[in-house]
Amino acid sequence: MNPLASIIMSSTLISGTLITLISSHWLMAWMGLEMNMFAIIPMIMKNNSPRAIEAAMKYFLIQASASMLLLMAASLNFMYSGQWTLTEMNVSMASLIMLIAMLMKLGMAPFHFWVPEVTQGTVLLTSLIILTWQKLAPLAILFQITPSINVNIILTTAILSILIGGWGGLNQTQLRKIMAYSSIAHMGWMAAVMIYNPTLMLLNLLLYLIFTFSAFTILIKCSSTSTSMLTMTWNSYPLMVSILLIILLSMGGLPPLTGFVPKWLIIYELIKNTNIAMTLTMSILALLNLFFYLRLIYASSLTLFPTSSNLKFKWKINTPNKMYFLPTMVSISLLFLPVSPMILMLS
């Protein structure tokens, strides 16, 4: 892309999210979301293939519909309560419509169908942005309207997201689709704890962003988009596959890695609120996610995966992709569990 266009798109993307994060008026929040959407559409269509254009069209349709629902909810709230402030969401119908709009924006079940398609249809870097940066603004809105959210709907959506995120990712060989289903499942965990302890939701979001960013950075460096390509990376980038092992196990929520912290604290919070059946279901469904992470780990680092060709290695070509902050992210993914008493104290 033209560097000037690239700078304009990136700055619009960043400023759109920031406007939504800092706004207290519904119209400003909506404006930030729209700026976000318009900035990322050309980034999705960067390589101009029919698949990328289809992904951009699907993304635009979903996000535009969600923005319309958001405006409708805000207008409804204003009509009945006279309030434009984000935190003053007192009308139940408006709150419900707003929740649905944010679920569509986040790609949570039952509005999740676009996430794997759009993530698969574009390049790895844009998929990273869609799965990380684009989650910030809708989650910020949900964080602020938490007191007025319908409990039954958010918990149902959470369970459905975890189920669909785990079930859908089971048979995927394309890495972007695996990360998309992983995102759906993680959003489910965040939604489940949102109504009980919104701070934990933020912690889960922060750690999810770190894990996803690290995983995508490794995939971009290795230029792998499918499992079979990942099976060949042990020879070119042996350290990368070890790091990928740590990150995927962490995403699966295995102690003693950092990924155990959000799961443990969320389960603890739900049990404190006597929501034991749901906790049990969520813990069991998390095993589905762990299964396909482990399968990726088996394919890339733990075993010399059988290939159909005689060639057992890939020529290493030095790509100019830089791995920004990867050592920091990996350290956090690996070593953050002992810090959890401090987190408990803070929350």
Partner 1 sequence: MALAPKLLTGIHGLGKCQMPSAISCLFLGPRFAGYCSSSLQKTAAAPNKALDPQGKSGRDLQSPHRREAALDIPSPDEKPEVSFDKAIRDEIKDHFRRLKDEFVNHWIGPEGRPLHEVMLEQAKVVWQFRGKEDLDKWVVTSDKTIGGRSEVFLKMGKNNQSALLYGNLSSEAPLDGDSGHSGYCAMISRVPRGSFERKKSYDWSQFNTLYLRVRGDGRPWMVNLREDTDIIQKHNQMYSYFMFTRGGPYWQEVKIPFSKFFFSNQGRIRDAQFQLLLDKISSIGLTLADKVDGPFFLEIDFIGVFTDPAHTEEFAYENSPALNPRLFR
Kindly list the residues in this chain that would bind partner 1 in the complex (CB under 8 A).
1-2, 5, 48-51, 54, 57-58, 120, 167, 170-171, 173-174, 226-228, 295, 306-311
User: In angstroms, what is the minimal distance from the CB of 64 to partner 1?
Assistant: 15
Please give the full DSSP string across 203-218, using - where no structure is assigned.
HHHHHHHHHHHHHHHH
Under 8 Å between Cβ of 204 and 267:
no
Under DSSP, is residue 303 helix (H, G, I), strand (E, B) or coil? Answer: coil
User: In angstroms, what is the minimal distance from the CB of 171 to partner 1?
Assistant: 4
Rounded to whole angstroms, the Cα distance separating 301 from 45 reads 33
User: In angstroms, what is the minimal distance from the CB of 282 to partner 1?
Assistant: 20
Under 8 Å between Cβ of 182 and 156:
no
CB closer to partner 1 out of 5 and 22: 5
CB closer to partner 1 out of 217 and 233: 233
CB closer to partner 1 out of 82 and 306: 306
Alpha helices in the chain (DSSP H): 3-22, 26-44, 50-81, 92-106, 114-120, 124-131, 133-144, 151-168, 175-194, 198-222, 227-230, 233-236, 238-251, 260-272, 276-297, 326-335, 340-346
CB closer to partner 1 out of 306 and 341: 306
Rounded to whole angstroms, the Cα distance separating 48 from 122 reads 10
User: In angstroms, what is the minimal distance from the CB of 54 to partner 1?
Assistant: 6
User: In angstroms, what is the minimal distance from the CB of 304 to partner 1?
Assistant: 13
Rounded to whole angstroms, the Cα distance separating 343 from 327 reads 22
CB closer to partner 1 out of 226 and 273: 226
User: In angstroms, what is the minimal distance from the CB of 53 to partner 1?
Assistant: 9
Question: Longest Cα pair distance anywhere in the chain, in angstroms?
Answer: 70
CB closer to partner 1 out of 5 and 68: 5
Alpha helices in 223-325 (DSSP H): 227-230, 233-236, 238-251, 260-272, 276-297
Rounded to whole angstroms, the Cα distance separating 135 from 186 reads 11
- Distances, alpha carbon 277 to alpha carbons 65, 83, 194, 197, in Å: 34, 37, 17, 18
CB closer to partner 1 out of 198 and 314: 314
Please give the full DSSP string across 4-18, using - where no structure is assigned.
HHHHHHHHHHHHHHH
User: In angstroms, what is the minimal distance from the CB of 226 to partner 1?
Assistant: 7
User: In angstroms, what is the minimal distance from the CB of 308 to partner 1?
Assistant: 5
CB closer to partner 1 out of 42 and 198: 42
Which tokens in the block code for residue 221?
């460096």
